[in-house]
Chains A and B, each alone.
Chain A
Amino acid sequence: MRFLLKIYKQTLSPMIKFLFGGGGCKYYPEDLSCSEYAVESIEKYGIIKGGRLAIQRVLKCNNWSR
């Protein structure tokens, strides 16, 4: 998991930032970024509950929550 995260952070993540601009997360300075959150929650709760938590987290990242 950690290994996958590292690969994502070093290749895909900068690529997306480069191509589409932006970058940054509304949770980030105070909390974990979405990919880190996903890894932690899956490690803690297993793939099913952790995965669900991670998806919920991504879906919550819209203009109308919090």
Chain B
Amino acid sequence: MNIFTTLLIQPLTNGLIFFYNMLGQNMGIAIIGFSLFLRFATNPLTKPYMASMKKIKEVEPLIKKLKLKYKDDKKGMMTAQTDLYKQKGINPSAGCLPYILNIVIMIALFNVFTHVLSQNGDAMVKLNEILYTPLKFSENISLNTRFLYLDVRTPDVFNFEGLPFPIPGPMILLAGLLQFFSAKMMAPLVKKEEKIAKETKGQADDMAVAMQSSMVYTFPLMTIFFGIKFPSGLALYWLLFSVFQMYQQYKTSGWGGLTPFINKLDLLKSLLNEQRNKSIN
């Protein structure tokens, strides 16, 4: 067993099975519960970083001015910047390592779900191999993988007769849609970078920004495309992931690129309320 397996995959698998046992032996609910738990458990680690990144983005123009002012004076630049950060209450020591760790955990979790949800005949034997003794299953037991209308081990697709390809189900479509929304919410940040990229004229920057804006559309499509092939439990996790992402983005910078859409929704709501009030009167 390699170090990635012993340090991450194994504890996470055991955690998932622990939640499976705790939450009424339903793999779908276990996936939701365990991802929620992990998100909240790692939140204190990543929160300072997200907060300081937001503030640093806000003062970036000021930093640029300082850079012009202290062109040849590196020390002066440093002190001026530290002063500015202090003034704005930015804690520059919030680093990105916990955030990278969080990403690694999420990738490992994805791995865990793939393992646990595999449909091979000896899946149970393999699962027992990495479970700690108190959590081991007896060989003749099979996991309960029904969740809503789904079996979390099989893809969420509908096959129609005469159609050469399967139609993606609601879970996959929702996952794709939510990913699109969460990407849209990050959009203003992209726009800001776009402006900066134009100013600096760096080709690399341009490429990166262009890629980021095209990903708003390509990633949701890829989600749907892969969702057709992979177990629906993964689509469920992906959906949750987008929801967390949206929540986090909302907390740090509001609705972002979704603002026009939300405004329309609010307008619709108030219109409906008015109508209801009228009909009551």
Measuring CB to CB, which residues of chain A are less than 8 angstroms from any residue of chain B? 6, 9-11, 13-26, 29-30, 58-66
Contact = CB atoms under 8 A, between A and B. Distances in A.
B52 A30 contact: no
A22 B48 contact: no
24 contacts: A9-B204, A9-B208, A10-B207, A13-B208, A14-B208, A14-B209, A15-B211, A18-B186, A18-B212, A18-B215, A20-B102, A20-B103, A21-B245, A21-B248, A22-B49, A23-B189, A26-B93, A26-B95, A29-B63, A62-B97, A63-B48, A63-B94, A63-B98, A66-B93
A61 B211 contact: no
Given A17-B212, A20-B103, A29-B81, A61 B96 contact: yes
Contacts, number: 82
B60 to A, nearest CB: 7
Contacts of B48: 63
A10 B203 CA distance: 10
A30 B208 contact: no
Interface string B51-80: 011001100100100010000000001100
Contacts of A61: 95-97
Contacts of A29: 56, 60, 63, 67, 81
Contact of A58 (B77, B97, B212, B219): B97
Contacts of B60: 29
Q: In terms of DSSP, what is the predominant structure of the interface of chain B?
A: helix
Contact-residue size bin, chain B (C-beta under 8 Å from the other chain): 35 or more
B45 interface: yes
Contacts of B245: 20-21
B96 A25 contact: yes
Contacts of A9: 204, 208
Interface of B: 45, 48-50, 52-53, 56-57, 60, 63, 67, 77-78, 81, 92-100, 102-103, 106, 183, 186, 189, 204, 207-209, 211-212, 215, 219, 245, 248-249
A24 B97 contact: no
Q: By CB atoms of chain B within 10 A, which of A16, A60, A63 has the most?
A: A63
Contacts of A20: 99, 102-103, 106, 245
Given A29-B81, A58-B97, A66 B183 contact: no
A2 B201 CA distance: 19
B92 A66 contact: yes
Nearest to A9: B204
Contact of B81 (A30, A59, A64, A65): A30
A11 to B, nearest CB: 7
Q: By CB atoms of chain B within 10 A, which of A15, A16, A17, A22 has the most?
A: A22
Contacts of B215: 14-15, 18
A26 B52 CA distance: 9
A59 B97 CA distance: 7
A40 to B, nearest CB: 16
Given A29-B63, A30-B77, A30-B81, A22 B50 contact: yes
A16 B92 contact: no
B208 A24 contact: no
